[in-house]
Amino acid sequence: MASALTDKLSRLVKTISGQARITESNVTDMLREVRMALLEADVALPVVRDFIARVKDKALGQEVIGSLKPGQALVGIVNKELAATMGEGVADINLAAQPPAVILMAGLQGAGKTTTTAKLAKHLIEKRKKKVLTVSGDVYRPAAIEQLKTVTAQAGAEWFPSTPDQKPIDIARAAIDYARKHYFDVLLVDTAGRLAIDEALMAEIKGLHAELKPVETLFVVDAMQGQDAANTARAFGEALPLTGIVLTKLDGDSRGGAALSVRQITGAPIKFAGTSEKIDGLEVFDAERHAGRILG
Ligand code: GDP
């Protein structure tokens, strides 16, 4: 992963490596570069501060100073800490529940919830051989219900109808009932989003969570949201016991620092990345590769 480092940081490592001894001020210089790289990637400031503090503690504690190759030792600590924060290995969708396993999709409007619901349906049908039903609880935007219908058909899953005059909780109950009677393995519940976090929205989704008892509660977040992703993640993480994150629009030109912020703030693993608008634009999230992208 040394290739993941910024040019500046690599140069600094070389300079330091050439020295017989490393000083605390060298460590500080290097960490300043790491800090810049993280901020340039749009990692939220408090998350960057925490990260740097942890690395500094370890660097000084583990005697980077005085070690044979101090530059490399420090880079090793940075990479290890990054990997530990991002989560190691891959985390697939958990379906260990009495069928139907319910998956609740949460996030702001425009984050990519509806698109991701269909992508996930396709993934579960093709990769896990599951019978999948989708339903929309977005009673505020009839177009959103129609959109889910369209993309569900593209995914080859079944769509459960809902209408704007219904209450989301009633829709949820009816969909679960239908899924049980027709032996669906998975029920994917798309929910209403707002342009910004608001209390009514949070209360509604908490109610849905209590009713549905989902095995997965996925927070869908737009990687292009940059710094704002941190605040959104905090609000959803406080309202719901999130079990995973889907980071969408990673095909954009952001360095994806939102991944680090969202992961650290919620503690939930990033399970998937959205990589295009198309129905097959969903990849299992690779934390190590992504750590490289963040450092630039
Ligand atoms: P929702 O309001 O959260 O349900 O968001 P939508 O699913 O309607 O998505 C909002 C917009 O983002 C749509 O134009 C999608 O096509 C687009 N979108 C969603 N996921 C991705 C992705 O991974 N990559 C790209 N490029 N666009 C995406």
188-206 pLDDT, tens digit per residue, is 999 998 888 889 989 999 9
Q: Please report, in range form, the residues annotated as the binding site for GTP.
A: 107-114, 190-194, 248-251
**SS3 of residue 202 by DSSP:** helix
Check pLDDT > 50 for residue 3: no
Q: Which tokens in the block code for residue 83? A: 């990997």
Binding-site residues, in ranges, read: 107-114, 190-194, 248-251
Whether cis (ω within 30° of 0) applies to the bond prior to 100 is: yes
Q: Match 């999230």 to its residue by tokens.
A: 285
Ligand 1 center from residue 99 Cα (angstroms): 28
Helix (H, G, I), strand (E, B) or coil at 222: strand
How far does the centroid of ligand 1 lie from the alpha carbon of residue 112, in Å? 4
Name beta bridge partners: 135: 160, 189
The closest of 160, 96, 150 to 128, measured between CA atoms, is 96
Tell me the three state secondary structure of residue 267: coil
Instruction: Decide: 23 and 41 in contact? Cβ < 8 Å.
Output: no
Burial environment of residue 232 by CB neighbours within 10 A (0 to 12, 13 to 18, 19 or more)? buried
CA distance 208 to 172: 7
Phi, psi of 275 (to 5 degrees): -125, 5
ipTM confidence score: 0.99
Please name the residue whose Cα sits nearest to atom 14 of ligand 1: 277
Cα–ligand 1 centroid distance for 234 (angstroms): 21
Closest Cα to atom 5, ligand 1: which residue?
112
- Show Cβ contacts of residue 22 under 8 Å, excluding neighbours closer than 6 positions: 16, 64, 65, 66, 67, 70, 71, 74
Burial class (CB in 10 A: 0-12, 13-18, 19+), 241: exposed
215 C-alpha to ligand 1 centroid (Å): 24
Say how many Å lie between the CA of residue 131 and the centre of ligand 1.
24
The predicted pLDDT at position 8 comes to 63
Per-residue confidence at 18, pLDDT binned at 50, 70, 90? Answer: low
Pull the structure tokens for residue 50: 């925490």
Q: Assess whether pLDDT exceeds 80 at residue 119.
A: yes
Q: What is the pTM of this model?
A: 0.91
Residue 107 Ramachandran class (φ > 0 left, ψ -120 to 50 alpha, else beta): left
Q: Ligand 1 center to residue 249 CA distance, Å?
A: 7
Residue 108 CA: nearest ligand 1 atom is 3
**Among 116, 275, 277, which is best to mutate for testing ligand 1, by the most ligand atoms less than 8 A from CB?**
277
Contact 270, 262 (CB under 8 A): yes
pLDDT confidence tier of residue 20, bands split at 50, 70 and 90:
low
Is residue 11 scored above 60 in pLDDT?
Answer: yes
Continuous segment of H or E residues that includes residue 269: none
Distance CA 262, CA 258 (A): 6
Q: Tell me how far the alpha carbon of residue 84 lies from the centroid of ligand 1, in angstroms.
A: 29
To test the pocket of ligand 1, the residue of 115, 149, 152, 218 to mutate (highest count of ligand atoms within 8 Å of its CB) is 115
Mean pLDDT, rounded, of the chain: 89
Q: Say if residue 275's pLDDT is above 80.
A: yes
**Per-residue pLDDT reduced to its tens digit, 33-48:** 889 888 988 899 999 9
> How confident is the model over 109-137, as a mean pLDDT?
97
Give 214's Cβ-side CA count (13 Å radius).
Answer: 26
Q: Where are the alpha helices (DSSP H) in the chain?
A: 7-18, 24-40, 45-61, 70-86, 113-128, 142-155, 168-181, 199-212, 228-239, 258-266, 287-295
| Closest C-alpha to ligand 1, atom 13 | 112
Among residues 193, 235, 182, which one has the least CA distance to residue 104?
193
Ligand 1 atom closest to Cα of residue 252: 26
Residues having CB within 6 Å of any atom of ligand 1: 107, 109-115, 193, 248-249, 251, 274-277, 281
